[in-house]
A and B are shown apart, each in its own frame.
Chain A
Amino acid sequence: GNSVTQMEGPVTLSEEAFLTINCTYTATGYPSLFWYVQYPGEGLQLLLKATKADDKGSNKGFEATYRKETTSFHLEKGSVQVSDSAVYFCALPGSSGGSNYKLTFGKGTLLTVNP
């Protein structure tokens, strides 16, 4: 079944630093890939997605490229802000049960950005 391995944090950066959060996946075929973000005290919200190989998803200055050669979907941002402090989750459809009605999440990476 599909699975995702995500870099575990926590990650602490200074404002304007470069961010990379690694995510690799195991999947049958080429499913869509997602990054979700959870701000303190809130539910998850979609940050960006890519629906096929070599696609680049982008939003709010974050980017991730769907790389089938390395089975990766790393999240990057060139200059982080304090407001980016949150937990970031990599995700893809499917689970160990194989159903396409389920979304499998990584364990999450806590990012803290200091001023």
Chain B
Amino acid sequence: NAGVTQTPKFQVLKTGQSMTLQCAQDMNHEYMSWYRQDPGMGLRLIHYSVGAGITDQGEVPNGYNVSRSTTEDFPLRLLSAAPSQTSVYFCASSYRLDDINEQFFGPGTRLTVL
């Protein structure tokens, strides 16, 4: 199993550009989520999905869109990048829905918005 994979590993954008961060898992997990990690802030939940076709907002959803058309993939879209979105982004997945249990994290995407 590859686990949770994320692409790209690094990205630099200019303000106003759009892009999609890719996330895929091959563990047949129903639950997937996106977090951002900022210094001194820990991890904050952006969006999550409890299954294909079902998504919901987390703590900091503004400026981000998600969709879940398959169990495996959960892309995160930045519609119009802003410097405040400079961060490290982690995708995570887990098997069970009735409690979070263990989440498996991808290696992260380091995004810089100029």
Contacts and interface: CB of A to CB of B under 8 A. Distances in A.
Interface of A: 31-32, 34, 41-46, 49, 89, 93, 95-97, 100-103, 105-108
Given A46-B102, A93-B100, A101-B100, A107 B42 contact: yes
Contacts of B98: 100
Closest 10 A/B residue pairs (Cβ) = A43-B105, A107-B42, A44-B105, A105-B42, A105-B43, A93-B100, A46-B102, A43-B107, A103-B100, A43-B106
B67 to A, nearest CB: 17
A100 B108 contact: no
A89 B45 contact: no
B90 A43 contact: yes
Contacts of A46: 102-103
A95 B105 contact: no
Contacts of A32: 99-101
Nearest to A49: B102
A41 B102 CA distance: 20
Given A95-B45, A105-B42, A105-B43, A42 B103 contact: no
A106 B43 CA distance: 8
Contacts of B92: 43-44
Contact of A106 (B42, B99, B104): B42
A105 B4 CA distance: 20
A101 B31 contact: yes
